[in-house]
Chain A
Amino acid sequence: MKPVRARPAWRRPPIFPILVIWAVLTLLLLLFAPIPARLMGQAASPTMQEIETTVTWFTGLSAPVAALVWAILLYSAFRWRHRGSEPPMEDGYPLRDNRRVFTVWLLGSGVLCLVLLVWGLVVIAPRTAEANPAQEPIVVDVTGQQWAWSFTYPDEGNKDSSDLYLPVGQTVAFRVTSKDVVHSFWLVQLGIKVDANPGETTVATVRPTQIGTFQVRCADLCGLYHSYMQTTVHVVSEADFNAWLQHPAETSS
Chain B
Amino acid sequence: MTQSATAAPSRPAAPAAAGGLMRRLNVFTGIVAGLLLATATWWVTSSTFPTLDSGDHKDDAVTILTLVAWVVGFLVGVGAFVGPVRWLRGKDLTHEDELYLAGKDLGAWRYLKFTTDHKVVGMQYLVITMVLFACGGTLAMLIRTNLITPGSRFVDPATYNSFVGIHGIIMVIATIVMVSGPFGNFILPIMIGARDMSFPRLNALSFWLLFAAVPVLLSALVLGGISTGWSAYAPLADQANRGMDAFLVTIVTFAISTGVAGMNITTTAVKLRARGMSWSRTPIFVFGTVASVALGLVAFPMFEVAMILLGMDRGMGAGFYDASIGGSAWLYSNLFWLMGHPEVYVILLPAIVALMEITPVFTRKPLFSFTSAVLGIAGIAGLSLFVWAHHMYVSGWAPVLGGPFMVTTELISIPTGLLFLVLLGTLWRGRVWMRLPVMAVYALLWNFTIGGITGIYLSDIPVDQAMHGSMFVTAHFHYTLMGAGLTGAMGALAYWFPKMTGRMLDERWGAIGFWVAQVGFNVTFMGMFAVGLAAEPRRVADPGTYFHVGNLVSSIGAYTIMLGMLTFLGALIHSWRAGEVAGANPWGARTLEWQTPTPVPLENFEVLPVVTEDFYGYSENGHGADGVSPPTTPGAPPERVEVGAP
Chain A interface residues (CB < 8 Å from chain B):
10, 13, 36, 39-41, 47-48, 50-51, 54-55, 58-59, 62, 65-66, 69-70, 72-73, 76-77, 80-83, 87-98, 101-102, 105-106, 109-110, 112-113, 116-117, 119-121, 123-124, 127, 176, 180-182, 184, 186, 188, 191-195, 197-200, 202-203, 215, 217-228
Contact = CB atoms under 8 A, between A and B. Distances in A.
B525 interface: no
Contacts of A13: 428-429
Contacts of A66: 449-450, 453
Given A48-B466, A91-B619, A121-B406, A69 B537 contact: no
B233 A91 contact: no
B415 to A, nearest CB: 9
Nearest to B330: A197
Interface string B528-568: 01100111011111111000000000000000000000000
Interface stretch (B37-45, B337-345, B360-368): B360-368
7 contacts: A40-B466, A69-B424, A76-B432, A81-B434, A92-B431, A188-B466, A195-B394
Contact of B534 (A41, A101, A181): A41
Given A87-B364, A91-B619, A82 B466 contact: no
B64 to A, nearest CB: 21
- Please name the 7 residue pairs, one residue from A and one from B, whose CB atoms are nearest each other, closest first: A199-B323, A202-B396, A91-B619, A219-B469, A92-B365, A227-B540, A39-B533
A113 B411 contact: yes
B364, B530, B544 — most chain A CB neighbours (10 Å)? B364
Contacts of B158: 224
B468, B530, B542 — most chain A CB neighbours (10 Å)? B468
B601 interface: no
B417 interface: yes
Contacts of B538: 221
Given A77-B434, A113-B411, A197-B395, A120 B406 contact: yes
B460 A101 contact: no
A117 B406 contact: yes
Given A120-B460, A192-B465, 14 more contacts: A58-B453, A73-B442, A87-B625, A96-B616, A98-B368, A116-B410, A117-B407, A186-B537, A197-B396, A199-B324, A221-B229, A224-B157, A224-B227, A226-B540
B453 A182 contact: no
Contact of A117 (B235, B410, B424, B627): B410
B317 interface: no
Contact of A39 (B402, B410, B534): B534
Given A47-B462, A181-B236, A195-B394, A200 B323 contact: yes
A224 B161 contact: yes
Nearest to B415: A109
A48, A82, A98 — most chain B CB neighbours (10 Å)? A82
B530 A88 contact: no
Contacts of B395: 182, 195, 197, 202
A84 to B, nearest CB: 8
Contacts of B28: none
B421 A102 contact: yes
A109 B445 CA distance: 17
A66 B364 CA distance: 26
A94 B587 contact: no
Nearest to B426: A95
Interface of B: 157-158, 161, 164, 227-229, 233-236, 239, 323-324, 328-330, 363-366, 368-372, 394-396, 402-403, 406-407, 410-411, 413-414, 417-418, 420-421, 424-425, 427-434, 442, 445-446, 449-450, 453, 456-457, 459-463, 465-466, 468-470, 529-530, 533-535, 537-544, 587-588, 616-620, 623-625, 627
A180 B235 contact: yes
Contact of B449 (A69, A87, A184, A192): A69
A73 B233 contact: no
A199 B537 CA distance: 24
Given A116-B410, A124-B462, A88 B433 contact: yes
Given A121-B406, A181-B239, A197-B323, A88 B369 contact: no
A92 B137 CA distance: 39
Contacts of B365: 91-95
A13 B424 CA distance: 14
Given A69-B420, A119-B460, A88 B323 contact: no
Contact of B425 (A95, A184, A194, A197): A95
B588 A221 contact: no
A88 B402 CA distance: 52
B619 A58 contact: no
A147 to B, nearest CB: 10
A10 B428 CA distance: 10
Contacts of B164: 221
A72 B533 contact: no
A130 to B, nearest CB: 11
A128 B525 CA distance: 34
A97 B181 CA distance: 31
Given A120-B461, A194-B394, A228-B542, A91 B364 contact: yes
A73, A87, A88, A186 — most chain B CB neighbours (10 Å)? A87
